[in-house]
Amino acid sequence: MAKIGVFDSGIGGLTVLEEMVKVMPNEDFLYFGDSKNCPYGNKELDELMRIVSRIVDYYVSVGCKLIVIACNTATTKCMKLLREKYPDLIFVGTVPAVKMACDNNCHNTLVMATEGTIASERVHELVLDNKRDDQNIYLVSCRGLAEAIESKDNDLIDKVLNDTIGSYLDKNIDSIVLGCTHYPWAKENILKIFPGVQLFDGSLGVAKEVKRQLDNHGYSNDLNYKGTVVVLDDIGD
C-alpha cells in the first residue's frame, strides 16, 4: 500500500498526524520529525527549500501517494514553490486557523506563530480575507517557543509565553490561533495566562482535506484495511 508522507521540524506535526489517524484509520503514514533543523521558523527561504526538498525527495523515492506539510512556516513559505518543483505530487499543507476564529465570531484574536509564518504574505492574506470590521487580530511572533516545546522544559515554555503573549492581557483576548503545529503541546501553559479563551488549530481541517484529496484521486485504501504509522528517526543523506 502506498503511504502518506508527513513531516515537520520535530514533534509539532504529531498533533496533525494524530488527527489524520483518527479520520483515516485505514491509511498508512510515514512521519519524519526533522528535529535537527528545528525550528523552521527562522530559516531563509533558500535554506528552507533545500531542507524540505530533501524530505520530499525521500518520500518520492519510497512511493508516497500524498505529502502533508505539517508545518505552518514550510506551508506558507514553500508550498507554491514545491508544487512548481513537483507538479505531479499531491501536497496538503497547514496554515493558521484565522478563518476558523473569525467564523466563530471571535472579536479579539491572538495569532501565535513563528517569525517566518508571521512574516509570510499568506498569513496577511488570511487576515485580510476573513477579518470583519468589528474584529481585531493580533499577530505575535513567538520566537523560541517551538524550541522550548521540543526541549520539554515547562519552565522555559512558561517564560517564552510570558515574554511573547503576556503583554496582550489588556486586549480582552477571547480566542487564540495556534499557528504552529508545536503549540498545541503548550495548551495548558497558554491557558494559565489566558484562562477560558477559545483555542484554534488547523489539525482537523488538514486531516479532512487529506481525506478529500485521496477520495477525489481514487487513492483511498479500503475501509476495512488496518492502517499503520511509522515514525522515522532519519531519512539518510
Q: pLDDT at position 106, please?
A: 95
- Average pLDDT, integer, range 178-197: 96
To the query of whether residue 71 is one of the catalytic residues in this protein, the response is yes
The overall pTM is greater than 0.75: yes
Edge-to-edge strands of the sheet including 91-93? 91-93, 66-69, 4-8, 29-33, 229-232
Mean pLDDT of 5-21: 95
Is a pLDDT exceeding 90 seen at residue 88?
yes
Which part of the chain has CATH 3.40.50.1860? 4-94+203-232, 98-200
Strand partners, 141: 113
Per-residue pLDDT of 115-144, as tens digits, reads: 999 999 999 999 999 999 999 999 999 999
Percent helix, strand and coil across the chain, each to the nearest 5: 50, 15, 35
| Fold topology of 4-94+203-232 | Rossmann fold (3.40.50)
pLDDT over threshold 70, residue 237: no
Mean pLDDT of 199-228: 96
- Per-residue pLDDT averaged across 144-155, rounded? 95
Give the residue among 228, 2, 8, 199 at the shortest CA–CA distance from 117. 8
pLDDT at 1: 80
Q: What pLDDT was estimated at residue 32?
A: 97
Q: Is 212 helix (H, G, I), strand (E, B) or coil?
A: helix
Nearest-angstrom CA–CA distance, 191 and 132: 26
Backbone angles phi, psi at 54, to 5 degrees: -60, -40
- DSSP state letters, 108-147: EEEEEE-HHHHHSHHHHHHHHHH--TT-EEEEEE-TTHHH
Task: Quote the strand ranges of the chain, DSSP E.
Answer: 4-8, 29-33, 66-69, 91-93, 108-113, 136-141, 175-178, 198-200, 229-232
180 is catalytic: yes
Residue 57 has pLDDT above 70, yes or no: yes
Q: Does residue 77 surpass a pLDDT of 70?
A: yes
Identify the band that residue 207 occupies on the pLDDT scale cut at 50, 70 and 90. very high
Which CATH number fits the domain 98-200, given the four candidates 3.40.50.1100, 2.60.120.10, 3.40.190.10, 3.40.50.1860? 3.40.50.1860
Segment 195-204 shows an average pLDDT of 95
Kindly name the residue from 64, 102, 142, 180 that is annotated as catalytic: 180
Give me the pLDDT at residue 135, please: 97
Catalytic residue among 38, 71, 106, 142: 71
Is the predicted pLDDT of residue 170 greater than 90, yes or no? yes
Structure confidence at residue 157 (pLDDT): 98
What mean pLDDT, rounded, does the chain reach?
95
